[in-house]
Structure 1
Amino acid sequence: MTMLAFATEFPVQTSNTSERFVAVVREWLLGSPHTLLGTSDVEGFGRLGHWSATKGNEALVSLRGARDSVDAASVRYRRLDDGLEWTTTVTFSRGDVDAWVAVRVFCESHHPATRLPPAKKPVVVRTLIDALGGGPDSSFCVEQRAYRLSNTEIDRAVTIIQGRSTNRLPIVYVSCMFRGGYVLDPDRLANDLSGMAHVVVEPNRAFSLRLQIDANSENVFGGGIGIYWPDGGGRRSFFMGRGYDGPAELAKAVREEVRGALVNRRPLERCTWAAVQEVVSRAALDELKAAGSTEVEKYIETFDREISSKNELLADAEREIARLKVEVRIYEARIPSGSGTTLNMGGEQDLYPDEISGMVVDALADYLTRVRGDSRRSHVLAALVNANPNKSPAVAYRETLKEHLRGASGLDQKARRALEQLGFEVSDNGKHYKLVFQGDDRYTFSLPKTGSDYRGGLNAAGDISRLLF
């Protein structure tokens, strides 16, 4: 059984050459603790044309050539280890305006009982970024830290959310939590995903609320993380922190989703082994023609290699067609019957987790008590209520308000901190405290600094709860 365990392509600085690329790959190979190859074993590695060597359970092949405006190289390294054959192909392609690198790792089991190990990002990806430098991917640059949007970049965020950006790599969008901050460390996630995706971070909750309007509520929010693909070229995925044991588990899920999507994405043709083989073959043919060679065998060998590269490209295309057919069937199977009903959110957005869905479920449950029990309407409403449990924390929010405002004749530090954790902005407004929920001025409240009696705080909690929760 063969598995494509990892695949990615990313731009590097255009000042790099194929010669520099093979030097970096050579350094990576010789520095690996898993190889038995020594300096003498790789003599001539990466020279123009075709080169190969074997030693023990390892095999190494390099291709390098230049023709017209293309400078390209590819290295294929195979190693057999405990019944598993690992094949890593690393490719470089520089054209007129950019330079790209591709990394693909296959794992093949030679024994049916051998289990394939979990896929990981190979070390060579970081090695190449460090040595060759991340290049521009449309308006982004390949980096090992997150890109933080400014308050004025709403249009850029809308372009990302709606899949209209022109970059190649997917974008992992990290939204601001309701109470501020982020559910995980965006820079650490960006470091883990360098060379695989761009991590983009929104600045604050107010930005998210403005984005919701311009992006037609397509944006992830409230601390959620969304994966958005340029040109609508992939399946959007969304992650909420409360569904995971902690930031580490959430980050792991995001990384695995990106890795799985990249493995199933068609590679850039220029960054494949077959494409470099074609460049090398055509360059060799050009040399033979220029020299006026009549050595038929060399012509035949050159043509055979070019035909082989074409056949490999064709085989790649056939595999892609087969993969797409399987993917279509998977997506069709994931769509349950009767799931065509959708609800347009209009101009509103959740101000706390599961707010709107909780309101809808509550409204359905309430309406269910007022319809005839044996009617079709009753059956449909009951099915909807039973299939959609209310996960809204509204009840807990109401209790928190009562707990901290009961008997209060002002706001101490503990109560103020509790209000801020719920999503209120608390400010001093003369004789009163001004409370604004989630930055939305429609939900502004006043609390007296000195209450008239012990019931004042409880009454205020009740008034706020009735309006919000």
Structure 2
Amino acid sequence: MLLYSTTLRINDTLIRDGFIQLVIQWNQSSPHEDNVIPDINWNGEHNIRYGNESLWLDIEEYRNKNIIAVRFEKRVEDGAIWDTDYIMNFDTMEMTIQLDRGYTEDAQMEDLQFSTPHFISMLIDGGYLLDDNGIPVLRQAISITEDNLSLITDVINGNTHYRLPIVYVTKTAYNHDPVSISWLCSKLKGVAHILLQADKQTNWSIRSACNDNNEYFGGVGIYFPNGKHRRFLYRSYIGSDNILLEKVTRSVFQYMNAQKKPLLSTWPGVNNALLTDKYDSQKTERAEAERAREAAESEVEYYIGAFDEDNEKLRQQIEELTRANTSLQLENQGLREKLSGVDEIPILFLGDEEEFYQGEIKEMILDAVAEKLKNLGQKTRRWVVLNDVLQNNDYQEVSDERERIVKALFKDYKTLSGSMRQQLLELGFEVTEEGKHYRLTYYGDGRYKTTIAKTGSDWREGKNIASVILKNMM
């Protein structure tokens, strides 16, 4: 499973030995002790392997194409196989970096989190990365102010393009960041540029320059190199910042991981090329040796001995690639077995609406199914199917309980007591004061709000308030 993929342009200050030394430094200085390969003493070799079967670092030079390929592999107890590849092409001065996670057949695949390779930070800090059409590749956000508005307006208007996606983060209505910018930059370093609106006061200037096509008030826009654009709106409720951040990062990773890489920009591609060249070379030498058989029997014996030694090395390399292919087959087999062992098959997929509380959307759908069942004759095909769905999805009737609470809270409503306010907060309402009224906003989402008088006027008022809440918000 490819988790992270990017190709970065490198300046000429990074030489072959410097690249290898940087990779070794990356491993040896890792804060995770179980990632460090002990006793690495590099003596200038360009084809060498360190470590053991469960933790190793392999360096391969492909001289014909001026490429040095590096793979770091770690196998952990839960069955996961982590592969980090650095493929440096010194002809094009481009480096492809990929992080991949495979699984053995008995792997536990609960944890889907990963960290962006720290090697990206080392390249940035070392000053090895070229700018992307004028934008530096950084691990922090670029602040958008009145002085550099064209940096984002040109992107929005399609007047300029970059090799990496542009992520534009705007300030909320309260002039706050909608997500953790430091965390966003950490996750997307090397795969996207982060442009951060410095102050919401620039909204008017940007809108004027972009014909109102810009994001604003906490919205986040992703502008991809292929001209595509995704927009994520900001909604204020508990946990919304993490959800928004996850949506943005997932969208960027999906785009970057889908980009097709040249074979010689991948570890398997470089190794296959090395094997092919080795095979062609040996084939030529073998033919020459066969032709020399008639001339000198002793010379033939010499060649055959040399071939046997080279073929043994070639056999070992082929076995290693075969193990890699087997690992991928096991991964697919394991995934199939895990999927085939799941009894609950999803019928629907979630849309873009986030849940206000755990299970909200599922309960709404099941509520609709239960309501539909009331109007169907038993034993009909539609009743049998819908009832089967209802019985196999742990229907909790959460909405019925929430409805009961709301009706009880506003029965004979006179004023908003402290305990009543607390219960509303627990139901997900934000309570604010506006003159003679309270404003109730459901999970901070401005689409779902109502006002109530601070003092109830008659016995019907509480019933009407509950009716509005249940109809429009729950």
Deviations 1:234-269 (A, max 9, x none): x62414152552645544443344334433333465
Match of 1:217? Answer: 212
Match of 1:100? Answer: 95
Match of 1:361? Answer: none
Distance 1:186 1:115, change over 3 A: closer
Match of 1:37? Answer: 37
Tell me the distance in 2 between the aligned counterparts of 1:175 and 1:13. 32
Q: CA deviation at 1:55?
A: 1.7
Between the aligned residues of both structures, percent identity stands at 18
Match of 1:389? Answer: none
Tell me the distance in 2 between the aligned counterparts of 1:305 and 1:82. 25
For residue 258 of structure 1, the aligned residue among 252, 259, 267 is 252
- What pairs with 1:61-210 in structure 2 (closer than 5 Å)? 61-67=58-64, 71-95=66-90, 98-111=93-106, 114-131=109-126, 133-162=128-157, 165-184=160-179, 186-187=181-182, 189-210=184-205
Contact kept, 8 Å, 2:86 with 2:96, in 1: the verdict is yes
Tell me the distance in 1 between the aligned counterparts of 2:311 and 2:124. 38
Distance 1:64 1:170, change over 3 A: same
Q: CA deviation at 1:132?
A: 5.6
The residue type paired with residue 166 of structure 1 is H
Contact kept, 8 Å, 1:11 with 1:142, in 2: the verdict is no
- Is 1:273 matched with 2:250? no
Q: Secondary structure at the match of 2:73?
A: strand
Contact kept, 8 Å, 1:65 with 1:276, in 2: the verdict is yes
Give the TM-score normalised by structure 1: 0.53
Match of 1:242? Answer: 236
Tell me the distance in 2 between the aligned counterparts of 1:247 and 1:271. 36
The residue type paired with residue 266 of structure 1 is K
Tell me the distance in 1 between the aligned counterparts of 2:436 and 2:9. 55
Tell me the distance in 2 between the aligned counterparts of 1:10 and 1:250. 27
Distance 1:168 1:73, change over 3 A: same
Q: Secondary structure at the match of 2:184?
A: helix
Distance 1:241 1:150, change over 3 A: same
Deviations 1:26-79 (A, max 9, x none): 12223441146322xx45687335x33552523432212344xx6422212222
Contact kept, 8 Å, 1:134 with 1:143, in 2: the verdict is no
Q: CA deviation at 1:187?
A: 4.8
The residue type paired with residue 219 of structure 2 is G
Tell me the distance in 2 between the aligned counterparts of 1:213 and 1:230. 24
Distance 1:398 1:35, change over 3 A: closer
Q: Secondary structure at the match of 2:236?
A: helix
Match of 1:60? Answer: 57
Contact kept, 8 Å, 1:12 with 1:132, in 2: the verdict is no
Tell me the distance in 1 between the aligned counterparts of 2:191 and 2:152. 19
For residue 4 of structure 2, the aligned residue among 3, 6, 10 is 6
Match of 2:19? Answer: 21
Contact kept, 8 Å, 2:149 with 2:206, in 1: the verdict is yes
Distance 1:97 1:80, change over 3 A: closer
The residue type paired with residue 259 of structure 2 is R
Distance 1:285 1:17, change over 3 A: farther
The residue type paired with residue 212 of structure 1 is R
Match of 2:365? Answer: none
Contact kept, 8 Å, 1:86 with 1:107, in 2: the verdict is yes
Q: Secondary structure at the match of 1:34?
A: helix
Deviations 1:275-308 (A, max 9, x none): 544775798799999x9x9779569999x999x9
Q: CA deviation at 1:169?
A: 1.7
Q: CA deviation at 1:173?
A: 0.3
Tell me the distance in 1 between the aligned counterparts of 2:111 and 2:102. 7
The residue type paired with residue 18 of structure 1 is R
Contact kept, 8 Å, 1:10 with 1:169, in 2: the verdict is no
The residue type paired with residue 59 of structure 2 is S
Aligned residues: 316
Match of 1:228? Answer: 223
Deviations 1:183-212 (A, max 9, x none): 345455324422121101234435333333
Structure 1 gaps of 5+ residues are: 317-332, 337-395, 405-469
The CA RMSD measured in Å over matched residues stands at 4.7
- What pairs with 1:308-319 in structure 2 (closer than 5 Å)? none
Distance 1:146 1:35, change over 3 A: closer
Q: Secondary structure at the match of 2:19?
A: helix
Q: Secondary structure at the match of 2:4?
A: strand
Match of 2:416? Answer: none
Give the TM-score normalised by structure 2: 0.53
Contact kept, 8 Å, 2:57 with 2:73, in 1: the verdict is yes
Distance 1:74 1:215, change over 3 A: same
Contact kept, 8 Å, 1:109 with 1:115, in 2: the verdict is no
The residue type paired with residue 55 of structure 2 is E
Tell me the distance in 2 between the aligned counterparts of 1:10 and 1:403. 59
Q: Secondary structure at the match of 1:212?
A: helix
Structure 2 gaps of 5+ residues are: 290-302, 329-348, 353-429, 438-474
Contact kept, 8 Å, 1:244 with 1:250, in 2: the verdict is no
Tell me the distance in 2 between the aligned counterparts of 1:398 and 1:118. 38
Distance 1:188 1:5, change over 3 A: closer
Distance 1:399 1:60, change over 3 A: closer
Contact kept, 8 Å, 2:80 with 2:108, in 1: the verdict is no
Q: Secondary structure at the match of 1:14?
A: coil
Tell me the distance in 2 between the aligned counterparts of 1:110 and 1:102. 26
Distance 1:244 1:268, change over 3 A: farther
Distance 1:36 1:227, change over 3 A: closer
Distance 1:164 1:237, change over 3 A: same
Q: Which has the larger radius of gyration?
A: 2
Deviations 1:102-123 (A, max 9, x none): 1222231430655354233233
Contact kept, 8 Å, 1:74 with 1:89, in 2: the verdict is no
Tell me the distance in 2 between the aligned counterparts of 1:133 and 1:403. 62
The residue type paired with residue 252 of structure 2 is V
